[in-house]
Every structure is written in C-alpha cells, then in structure tokens.
Amino acid sequence: MIAILKNGTTPAQTEHLIQWLKNMNLDVHVSHGHEVTILGLVGDTSRVDIELLNSLEIVETVKRVSEPFKQANRKFHPEDTVIDVGGVKIGGGHFAVIAGPCSIETEEQITEVAMAVKASGANILRGGAFKPRTSPYAFQGLKDAGIQLLLKAKEASGLPIITEIMNIRALELFENVDIIQVGARNMQNFDLLQELGKTKKPILLKRGLANTLQELLMSAEYIMSEGNENVILCERGIRSFETYTRNTLDLSAVPVLHELSHLPVIVDPSHATGKASLVPTMAAAAVAAGTDGIMVEVHNNPACALCDGAQSLTPAQFDALNTKLRKIREVMA
C-alpha cells in the first residue's frame, strides 16, 4: 500500500504518521520527493482502514498495490485448485456439468430429472430445498423433507449433489450433501461464510446481485481464512439497467476470476438470463470464455414448475445443449 502525503506536510507530522503505521506492525519505507513524500507500507495491510488513512489531513491519496484477498489469490498459489466432489473433479481442466430443478418438488420429479440429466452427461445434481424467494408468499422449498428427497435421488442416480444453505442452523441436514451452495443473496452473510469455513465441505459461492468481483473474492476469503479451501466461485449475472434478461451475465468474470484467483469458476446461465431460450447460447459462450463448469436448471415439466419454470430446460433441451457443449470443449482443448 502506498500513501502520498500532501505538499507542505511537516517532518513532525510525517514522523507522527509513520509511528502510527508502525504500531500496526507495518514496515514503512519513506521516499522524499521535491514536492511530495511517499510512504510505502509493507506487511499485512489488510487491517489498514484505507478510508481512515485517506481522510487524514496530511494524506493526499492512498493506493493499494496488492489485493486484499490472500488465500484466494493466484499470486500466492499459481496452480489451479482442483476440487474433488465425491470423485468428480472441478477446476484445472476438469469440467463440471451441474443440472437439476430449481427446487425439489416430489420424489418422482427429482429422481426423474436426476436420471435424465445423468444420461445426458451431467456429473452433479442440483436441487433447492431452502429457497430464497423475493416474496414470503412464494413457495419456500420443501426444506428438511426436500433434502431427504435429494438424498434419495443421489442414491438412485449415483450423482453427487449440491443444494443451498440459508441458515447455519440447518447445517446438520447437509451431512451427506456433497457441495453446499451459498446463494447470491447470502454472498455477504459473513457469519454464514465463517461457519461454513469451519467445515471441510466444498462450497459453491454465488456472486451477489450487485457485488464486484473483488467483493466475491473477499467473501471466498471469509470461508478460506477459517480453514476451508474448497471454494468454487459462481457467476450468475448481476443487476444492470437491462430488464429483458433477469440479470446481465458478466462473462468477463470468468477470465478475470481466473486471472486473479486459483479457484474454479462456474457459470449459471439460468439465473443470469431467466429465459430458457437464452440458456444454451449463454452456456456455450461461458464454455468459450473458459468456465470450469456450468450450472443449469432442468425440469421434467417446466410449465408446472413451482419455481423458475421459465428459465428451466426440458431434459431434451438439456441433452441437445450437452452435445453442443462437448463440441465446443473439444475445440477449446
């Protein structure tokens, strides 16, 4: 971190500031120019309140020269992280196809979809039991009973499963869940992230509706700094002024996250677009952008889905999508 002091700062003021910074266990390198003095701060600057430093009367400007995320940072971990989910690998050239309904509705529904997506090439089954709905009157998911049905579909299909946690109190229900999802709305629920960091479960962390990529990486850091390094990042679209699509899929997130971090990156074109007709094109674009996997909503009867039917593919559409993605991956390899 670099702090540039205002022209006219006295030596006594400079010395006072240096002592203050040293008390935070930082080394301070001083460079006196003709007009300005520059302080180079070396050490763990993650605890420095950049706004506070910037607001001091003698400080002209403060710049971070290193990212505040450490464990998720590729600089300190150059090789890709590969996450093993019940034998299925994600990242470092291993591609995940996660598919299933938005929410688990009945045993027949989740099992039928599980078998269908598996036959088409999915290697992980998704299904929501705890649903974060905008309206408190909308279907909230089958909760505990939903997890039990998902476990039955796991047994029937042999696919590892992913489902969302909304409250840490439900953690014991997730014992046989292979990946715990933190949804967009909880990306900055820091208590939840820290508690999940104390587990060893792979966590799929979705980008918040209005969060920057740096904020996403800082949230990953909350999990990792507690000891759980099994974090998968997920781009699922962000809020913009465009309303034709449910969200705006920020595909540049894929190469940016790969540049900044060693963690695997998954793209969810279903929540990004909100429209089944757009999902295959954006999934294909995500593969071309280098994603480590996709997560797609599939329902055996989208017209009757209790949640997100409009963006759900039928098993036949999902099958066609997989054939297309395999070809794109071959070209990309």
From 10-18, 179-187, 259-267, 309-317, span contacting ligand PEP (CB under 6 A): 179-187
Q: Is 332 exposed, middle or buried (0-12, 13-18, 19+ CB in 10 A)?
A: exposed
Q: Is residue 246 within 8 Å of 78, Cβ to Cβ? A: no
**Residue 89 burial class via C-beta count within 10 angstroms: exposed 0-12, middle 13-18, buried 19 and up:** middle
Spatial CA neighbour of 236 closest among 255, 222, 224, 251: 251
Interaction between residue 184 and ligand PEP (CB under 6 A): yes
The partner in contact with residue 184, picked from Mn ion, ligand PEP, none with C-beta cut-offs of 5 to 8 angstroms by kind, is: ligand PEP
Q: Quick check: 236 binds ligand PEP (CB under 6 A)?
A: yes
Binding mask 36-55 for ligand PEP (x = CB under 6 A): --------------------
Residue 103 main-chain phi, psi, to 5 deg: -130, 150
Determine if 102 is a binding residue for Mn ion (CB under 5 A). Answer: yes
Q: How many CB atoms lie within 10 A of CB 145?
A: 12
CA 152/CA 77 separation, integer angstroms:
38
Beta strands in 142-192 (DSSP E): 161-164, 179-182
How buried is 9 (Cβ within 10 angstroms: 0-12 exposed, 13-18 middle, 19+ buried)?
middle
Q: Which is nearer to ligand PEP, 91 or 183 (CB)?
A: 183
181 — phi, psi (to 5°)?
-95, 135
Q: Which residue is nearest to ligand PEP (CB)?
A: 183
Alpha-carbon distance of 37 to 20, in angstroms, equals: 16
Query: Contacting ligand PEP (CB under 6 A), which of 271, 279, 291, 305?
Result: 271
Using a 10 angstrom Cβ sphere, with 0-12 exposed, 13-18 middle and 19 or more buried, the burial of residue 23 is: exposed
Q: Which is nearer to ligand PEP, 61 or 106 (CB)?
A: 106
Of residues 194-223, which lie at the interface with ligand PEP (CB under 6 A)?
206
Told to check if 293 binds ligand PEP by CB under 6 A, we report no
Residue 19 or 252 with smaller CB distance to ligand PEP: 252
User: Of the listed pieces 13-21, 68-76, 177-185, 256-264, which binds ligand PEP according to CB under 6 A?
Assistant: 177-185
Minimum CB separation of residue 233 from ligand PEP in Å reads: 12
Pick one of 308, 315, 319, 321: the residue that binds Mn ion (CB under 5 A). 308
Interface with Mn ion, residue 313, by CB under 5 A: no
CA distance 290 to 108: 35
> Which residue number, 127 or 160, has a Cβ lying nearer to Mn ion?
127
Binding mask 258-297 for Mn ion (x = CB under 5 A): ----------------------------------------
Residue ranges in contact with ligand PEP by CB under 6 A? 102, 128, 132, 164, 183-185, 206, 236, 271
Residue ranges in contact with Mn ion by CB under 5 A? 102, 308
